[in-house]
Amino acid sequence: MEVKVDFDLKGSKGKAKSSKKFSWNKRVVMFYLIDVLILTGSFLFFIWIKPASLRKYLPYYIEPFIIFLGIWLAASIPSRKYAYDDKKYLKDFLSPVFISDFIALSVITVMIVGFNHFTYSRMIVFGTIGLTIFLEMILFSLFYYHRKLDRDSEKTESIEVFLAHMETLSNVREEVDVLPETANVENYPAFSLGKYRDQIIEESNEEAYSFMCEHLDQKHNTTLVVSTTTRFNIAAIPADVFNVIVNLKLVNDIKFVNKFLESVNLKLPVGGLFISVVETNEIKKEIVYKEYPPVIRNFIYFTYHYMFKRVFPKIIILKKIYFFLTNGFERSLSKAEALGRLYSCGFEVIGEKKIKGKMFVVSRKVTDPSFDLNPTYGPIISLKRVGKNGKIIHVYKFRTMHPFAEYLQDYIFKHNALEEGGKFKNDFRVSTLGKYMRKFWIDELPMIFNLLKGDLKIVGVRPLSKQYFNLYTKELRERRTKYKPGLVPPFYADMPKTLKEIMASEMKYLDQCDKHPILTDIKYLRLALYNIFFKSARSQ
C-alpha cells in the first residue's frame, strides 16, 4: 500500500500552457513601460530639484534624454533584464539589473566624455541613473516575492486529500511492526522515511537523505514529510500519530516561525523528531562572497542582506515595510537564532549538518513550547539572573548575542568547552558587533539601571544564569546568594583563567566580605580598575 501526500498541488497545466506566450509578451511590455516611467520620473525629479527653472533645463535635455532612454532599454536585451520564466532566486532578478544598468552607464559615460558634453549637469545625469537603479531593484524584488508567494501558497484541497489518507494509518502501523529486515525500499510502508527517499532527494539531495537516516531507522518509524511554510497545514495533522515530521521548506520562508514550530511540537509525542532546513546568515554570506567580485559583494551583502534583511525587521516602523515587501520570505536567521527558536519551542537539537548551502537540523521534542511572547529581540535585552537570596532578577544589557541565543545555554555547554576566563570557546551566539561592544564595555552600560534599582551593587560576584550557576559547588552557590551580585566582579581583580580558579576567586572575595564588606569592595574595585585600564582586562 502506498499513500502519497502532496501539500503543493498544481493548477491546471493545460490551461497554463495555452496562455504562456501571451502572458510572457504582456509581462515584458509591462516591464518596459514601468521602466520607462521610472526612468522618466527620476529624470524629472532631478530636473525639478536642480536650483533653476524647468523652462531652462527641460528643453535643453529633452533630446539627449530620448537617446539616453533608448540606450537604457537596449542595454536590457543582452542581460535579459525583463525575462522572468526561468528565474527562481532573487539574485536571478537583480543581477541582470546591475549588468544592464552598468552597460548603459558605461555607454552614456563614454558618449558624454567622447563628445565633450561637459555642460550637462552631473547631478541630473548620474542622479537619474542612481535613483532609477534603486527603484528598479525595488520593482524586481516585489515581483520576485509576488511570484514566490504564488509558487509557495498551499491549496486547501491538498489538506482534504491528506486528511482522507489518515484513515489508512492503522493499517500503516501494522505494516511497520511486521516489516521484515530484508525488505526493499519499494516495499517500505507509507509514512516511513524510506518511502519518501525519492521525494527528499529530488527536493534536497542524497546527502541530506543520508543525514536523516543517521538519526532514525528508514523503516521502523511513522514519518510525515511535508514541504510547507504555513502552520495551518501542520494544524490539520492529528496529534501523536507521527513520531517524525520532516519539513523540506526553508525555515527562512516561514512568516510566523515560532507559531509554526509550536504547531509541530503539539503534533509530536515527547521524544518525537522534527527535521528542518535553514539557510543561516553565515551560509548566505559565504554564498554572496563566492558569487560576486570583492567590491560588489560587499555592497550587496551590506545593503541588502545586512541592512534590509537584518536591521529592518528589528526596527518598529521599518519592520512593517520589510514584511509588507517580503511577506516574511527569505527571513534573515543566524545559526544561533535558528537553533534558539527550536529550543524556545520545546525541542533540543541532536544533530546539524551544512549540506550544499543549507543547514539540516534534527531536533527532538523534550517538552511543550514555552510560548514566550516577549523574546529578547531588540537592542536592549533583559537577562534572567540569580540574585540575592536566590531571587531571579532581570539584568539589562545591550545585545551582543543573536536573538534567541539565551535559549542555547545547555546546547553550548554540551558542545563548547570553557576557555580562559570561564567563557565558552567559539561561541557562535556572539555577533560581530557584540564582540566589539564587549571589548570596550559598551554592552554593560544599561546595568547602571539595575544598580539604581538596587538589584546590583558596584562590586560583587557576577550575576549568573541558572545554567551557569548550577556549575558551581553547592557551598559556593549558598554563599553567593547571601550577597547582591555586582557590576564589577572579583574576576577583574584576580584575573582567574579556569572555572575552578573563578570559584576560588569568588570564595576568597566572599570570605573577606564576611569580615570587612566595605573595605573589601574598595580594595577589589581598586584592583579591578587597575587591571582594566593598565592591563587591558575586557568585558567577557
State pLDDT tens for residues 522-538: 999 999 888 888 776 65
Task: Identify which of 227, 158, 215, 222 has the alpha carbon closest to the alpha carbon of residue 190.
Answer: 222
What is the reported pLDDT for 170? 45
Q: What is the CATH number of domain 156-280+333-365?
A: 3.40.50
Decide: helix, strand or coil at residue 532: helix
What is the reported pLDDT for 377? 64
Rounded CA separation 277/423 (Å): 29
Query: Rg for the chain (alpha carbons), in Å?
Result: 30
**Which set of grid coordinates corresponds to residue 16?**
497554463
Region(s) of the chain under CATH 3.40.50: 156-280+333-365
**Percent of the residues in the chain that have a pLDDT greater than 70, as a whole number:** 77
Rounded CA separation 441/489 (Å): 13
What is the reported pLDDT for 178? 40
pLDDT digits (tens, 9 = 90+) for 102-126: 888 888 777 766 655 545 677 777 7
Most confident of 293-307, 360-374, 456-470: 456-470
Using 50, 70 and 90 to split pLDDT, how confident is the model at 420? low
Most confident of 86-100, 225-239, 259-273, 309-323: 259-273
389-416 mean pLDDT: 85
Most confident of 171-185, 188-202, 206-220, 369-383: 206-220
What is the reported pLDDT for 23? 43
Rounded CA separation 111/297 (Å): 28
